[in-house]
Amino acid sequence: MSCMSYGYIIVKDNAKWRREHIVIMEHSIGRKLNKNEIVHHINGNKTDNRIVNLQLMTKGEHITLHNFAREYKHKADDETIQNLYAEEYSGRQIASILKIGKSTVLNCIQRLGVSRNNFGIRNENGKFAERKAVI
Protein backbone atom coordinates (compact mmCIF):
# COMPACT_ATOMS: atom_id res chain seq x y z
CA MET A 1 0.00 0.00 0.00
CA SER A 2 1.25 3.51 -0.79
CA CYS A 3 0.03 7.08 -0.39
CA MET A 4 1.12 10.56 -1.44
CA SER A 5 2.73 13.19 0.77
CA TYR A 6 3.84 16.58 -0.63
CA GLY A 7 3.97 14.99 -4.09
CA TYR A 8 6.14 12.06 -2.95
CA ILE A 9 5.04 8.43 -2.84
CA ILE A 10 5.15 7.07 0.69
CA VAL A 11 5.23 3.40 1.57
CA LYS A 12 5.03 1.37 4.76
CA ASP A 13 8.54 0.16 5.66
CA ASN A 14 8.85 -1.91 8.84
CA ALA A 15 5.57 -0.51 10.22
CA LYS A 16 6.71 3.06 9.51
CA TRP A 17 5.56 5.35 6.66
CA ARG A 18 8.56 6.55 4.62
CA ARG A 19 9.20 8.21 1.27
CA GLU A 20 9.63 5.52 -1.34
CA HIS A 21 12.61 7.09 -3.12
CA ILE A 22 14.58 7.04 0.14
CA VAL A 23 13.71 3.39 0.79
CA ILE A 24 14.78 2.48 -2.77
CA MET A 25 18.09 4.34 -2.47
CA GLU A 26 18.87 2.83 0.93
CA HIS A 27 18.18 -0.63 -0.49
CA SER A 28 20.44 0.14 -3.48
CA ILE A 29 23.41 1.35 -1.37
CA GLY A 30 22.87 -1.23 1.36
CA ARG A 31 22.63 1.20 4.26
CA LYS A 32 20.53 3.99 5.79
CA LEU A 33 21.13 7.53 4.56
CA ASN A 34 23.39 9.76 6.64
CA LYS A 35 21.77 12.87 8.13
CA ASN A 36 23.59 15.00 5.54
CA GLU A 37 22.42 12.99 2.51
CA ILE A 38 19.52 13.63 0.14
CA VAL A 39 17.99 11.52 -2.62
CA HIS A 40 17.48 13.80 -5.64
CA HIS A 41 15.02 13.06 -8.48
CA ILE A 42 17.12 13.75 -11.59
CA ASN A 43 14.17 14.48 -13.89
CA GLY A 44 12.31 16.49 -11.23
CA ASN A 45 9.36 14.08 -11.12
CA LYS A 46 8.83 13.20 -7.45
CA THR A 47 6.88 10.07 -8.39
CA ASP A 48 9.53 8.61 -10.73
CA ASN A 49 11.38 6.43 -8.25
CA ARG A 50 13.33 4.29 -10.71
CA ILE A 51 16.90 3.93 -9.44
CA VAL A 52 18.22 5.46 -12.70
CA ASN A 53 16.30 8.63 -11.81
CA LEU A 54 17.62 8.85 -8.24
CA GLN A 55 20.89 10.48 -7.25
CA LEU A 56 22.47 10.40 -3.80
CA MET A 57 24.04 13.73 -2.79
CA THR A 58 24.77 15.85 0.25
CA LYS A 59 22.31 18.51 1.37
CA GLY A 60 24.84 21.19 0.34
CA GLU A 61 25.22 19.70 -3.15
CA HIS A 62 21.42 19.57 -3.47
CA ILE A 63 21.02 23.23 -2.52
CA THR A 64 23.78 24.25 -4.94
CA LEU A 65 22.20 22.20 -7.73
CA HIS A 66 18.77 23.80 -7.30
CA ASN A 67 20.17 27.32 -6.93
CA PHE A 68 22.21 26.87 -10.12
CA ALA A 69 19.17 25.46 -11.95
CA ARG A 70 17.08 28.43 -10.80
CA GLU A 71 19.73 30.92 -11.96
CA TYR A 72 20.20 29.13 -15.30
CA LYS A 73 16.46 28.96 -15.91
CA HIS A 74 16.21 32.75 -15.70
CA LYS A 75 19.49 33.68 -17.41
CA ALA A 76 17.59 34.75 -20.55
CA ASP A 77 15.73 37.28 -18.40
CA ASP A 78 18.87 39.26 -17.48
CA GLU A 79 17.90 42.09 -19.82
CA THR A 80 14.34 42.17 -18.47
CA ILE A 81 15.59 42.28 -14.87
CA GLN A 82 18.08 45.02 -15.76
CA ASN A 83 15.39 47.11 -17.49
CA LEU A 84 12.91 46.76 -14.61
CA TYR A 85 15.64 47.67 -12.12
CA ALA A 86 16.48 50.76 -14.20
CA GLU A 87 12.79 51.71 -14.10
CA GLU A 88 12.90 51.94 -10.29
CA TYR A 89 11.41 48.57 -9.41
CA SER A 90 12.83 46.97 -6.28
CA GLY A 91 14.26 43.46 -6.24
CA ARG A 92 11.11 42.24 -4.47
CA GLN A 93 8.84 43.88 -7.05
CA ILE A 94 10.85 42.42 -9.96
CA ALA A 95 10.72 38.97 -8.37
CA SER A 96 6.95 39.26 -8.00
CA ILE A 97 6.46 40.47 -11.58
CA LEU A 98 8.62 37.69 -13.08
CA LYS A 99 7.49 35.06 -10.55
CA ILE A 100 11.06 34.24 -9.53
CA GLY A 101 12.94 34.42 -6.24
CA LYS A 102 14.20 37.73 -4.90
CA SER A 103 17.69 36.27 -4.47
CA THR A 104 17.68 35.32 -8.18
CA VAL A 105 16.95 38.95 -9.05
CA LEU A 106 19.59 40.31 -6.67
CA ASN A 107 22.18 37.80 -7.92
CA CYS A 108 21.44 38.87 -11.49
CA ILE A 109 21.79 42.56 -10.63
CA GLN A 110 25.07 41.89 -8.86
CA ARG A 111 26.37 39.66 -11.68
CA LEU A 112 25.57 42.36 -14.28
CA GLY A 113 27.22 45.04 -12.16
CA VAL A 114 24.12 47.24 -12.27
CA SER A 115 23.83 50.02 -9.70
CA ARG A 116 21.68 53.07 -9.17
CA ASN A 117 23.49 56.39 -9.23
CA ASN A 118 21.70 58.61 -6.72
CA PHE A 119 24.37 61.20 -6.09
CA GLY A 120 23.49 64.85 -6.70
CA ILE A 121 19.93 64.14 -7.79
CA ARG A 122 18.05 65.40 -4.73
CA ASN A 123 15.13 67.76 -4.82
CA GLU A 124 14.64 70.76 -2.54
CA ASN A 125 13.33 68.51 0.26
CA GLY A 126 16.49 66.41 0.20
CA LYS A 127 14.75 63.45 -1.39
CA PHE A 128 15.93 61.77 -4.58
CA ALA A 129 14.23 63.42 -7.52
CA GLU A 130 15.10 60.64 -9.98
CA ARG A 131 17.37 57.68 -10.30
CA LYS A 132 19.45 56.44 -13.18
CA ALA A 133 20.72 52.98 -13.92
CA VAL A 134 24.46 53.04 -14.34
CA ILE A 135 25.93 50.04 -16.11
Average pLDDT rounded to a whole number, residues 108-124? 62
The CA–CA distances, whole Å, from 11 to 23, 35, 44, 49, 78 equal: 9, 20, 20, 12, 43
pLDDT band at 120 (very low <50, low <70, confident <90, very high): very low
Note whether 33 and 22 are within 8 A (CB).
Answer: yes
pLDDT of residue 60: 87
Dihedral over alpha carbons 77, 65, 100, 111 (to 10 degrees)? -50
Average pLDDT rounded to a whole number, residues 119-133? 50
- For residue range 16-65, list pLDDT tens digits in order: 999 999 999 999 999 999 999 999 998 888 899 999 999 999 988 888 87
Domain ranges of the chain: 2-59, 74-134
Q: pTM of the entire structure? A: 0.51
pLDDT of residue 118: 41
| Residue 94, φ and ψ in degrees, nearest 5 | -65, -45
